[in-house]
Amino acid sequence: MIPIIIPRANHPISRKNIDEEALKVLYRLHHHGFLAYLVGGSVRDLLLEKVPKDFDVATNAHPHEINSLFKNSRIIGRRFRLVQVFFKGRKIVEVSTFRSHSEFEETQTEGGEILRTDSFGTPEEDAFRRDITINGLFYDIADFSIIDYVGGTSDLERKVIRTIGNPDERFEQDPVRMIRVIRHAARTGFPIEEQTYQAILRYREEIKKCSPSRLRDEFLRELKEGVAKPSLTLMLQTGLLFSLFPDLDRALGERSLSEKKTRVFFLSLFDLADQLIKTGKLLSESILFALFLTPFLQAVTPLHPFLGKREKYLYWTQTIRWAVHQIFTPFAFPRGARETAYQILMAQSILKKAIQRGFIPKKMRMKKYFKEAVFLFGIEAQAKGEKVPRILRNAAPSDLLPWWPKEIKKRYRRFDR
């Protein structure tokens, strides 16, 4: 297949915006007679005039050839080997040899045995093994052109997220791609192309077949990158969230008014989290887990009139423990983070009592998770439009409201008197 070639004069990618070390790697490969392309997310981001997170390089040189070209490099990966080239300040440029298929596609023999080979391929095959069209573009250091086998440039112009090839096949090969499609749509604000969207509806249950560690990594990226609200909105719309976390269906479905309210609450918590992340605040995995579970826990806890105080407390404790472990267990989420999420959630009712009494015991304030518990309390109050009690602000002054960015304060000021 002949790709579309966009010459330097017709695209905005300038070498000025390419990482210096990635350029060194590209040039060195090129001067030794190899093809050397910038690939994946970096080309996409440069075309979108964003600053890329990392610059990946692809070449027709084999791993051992790359390795011998760069003194400061090592080959990693057991199945699909790639080369990491190290630079000062712990900087790494990853160089991979063109591949014929994605490392996550399982190739089965007739006997059903899974074959995994380090099968190198052509540039064309390497473009087609990628997930979505806007991630399948190459920037060629030989003449600074963009090479487009997959229609990525026109999709960037049209602003759509589309899988490369038939979406049914691509999701069947690797269902994690559904999460990636949603994350990239959320990030760019581009809608998901109709065929791709319909395929998610058909294949969403396949997500259960993926390895827990990959699911965890891709899902956490949704929550951590400051695009949790749009990502979770799409996860809810497509139902992929319920395929991943079936228990959530009974609280966040859209069958009743209370479920709709829970949805709104859920999304507004992550809206606030996104804004904090975008202004540079780091939210721990425990806080993200706790935020994630809060609306669910509140929705499933019955306010039974005949339950005594102690029974209610026991019920609450058990529900939290069950939720933290049951809902997240299949995802190989780190045990430590889950345990802290449990403590943060448990601390909420203690905080509430302390507020009623008008004083927070020192024992509570000394807990490792105290600040995070106050944080959750504050963010929940803001999402619900309630005011954050003064006593909490006094208890953790520099950790609750003062560092909340101005724009959030402004937006929620009417609640924060």
Instruction: Give the residue numbers annotated as catalytic, written as ranges.
Output: 54, 56, 131
Structure tokens at 140: 């060629």
- Least separation, in Å, of the C-beta of 40 and Mg ion? 6
Q: How far is CA 304 from CA 189, 353, 364, in A?
A: 43, 19, 28
Alpha carbons 81 and 167: distance in angstroms, whole number: 27
Q: What is the DSSP letter of 129?
A: T
165 belongs to the binding site for ligand ATP (CB under 6 A): no
Using rule CB under 6 A, residue 79 touches ligand ATP: no
Q: Which residues pair with 38 in a beta bridge?
A: 57, 139
> How far is C-alpha 344 from the geometric centre of its chain's CA atoms?
23
Of the pair 176, 283, the CB lying nearest ligand ATP is at 176
* Residue 104 touches which of Mg ion, ligand ATP, none (Cβ within 5-8 Å per kind): ligand ATP
For position 148 contacting ligand ATP by CB under 6 A, the verdict is no
Name beta bridge partners: 137. Answer: 148
218 makes contact with Mg ion (CB under 5 A): no
In 3-state terms, what secondary structure has residue 276? Answer: helix
C-alpha closest to that of 323 among 299, 293, 348: 293
Contacts with ligand ATP, 42-71, as mask; x by CB under 6 A: -----------x------------------
Integer distance in angstroms from the first to the last C-alpha of the chain? 64
d(CA 207, CA 158): 28
> Is residue 17 near ligand ATP by the rule CB under 6 A?
no
127 or 269: CB nearest ligand ATP: 127
Task: Give whichever of 136 and 295 is closer to ligand ATP, judged by the CB atom.
Answer: 136
Q: Where in 14-53 is the site for Mg ion (CB under 5 A)? A: 41
Beta carbon nearer to Mg ion, 41 or 239? 41
The answer to whether 174 contacts ligand ATP (rule: CB under 6 A) is: yes
Quick one: 92 or 401, whose CB is closer to Mg ion?
A: 92
From CA 113, how far away is CA 95, in angstroms rounded? 30
Residues in 142-161 that interact with Mg ion by CB under 5 A = none
DSSP helix/strand/coil, 185: helix
Binding-site ranges for ligand ATP (CB under 6 A)? 40-41, 53, 102, 104, 130-131, 135, 174, 176-177, 180
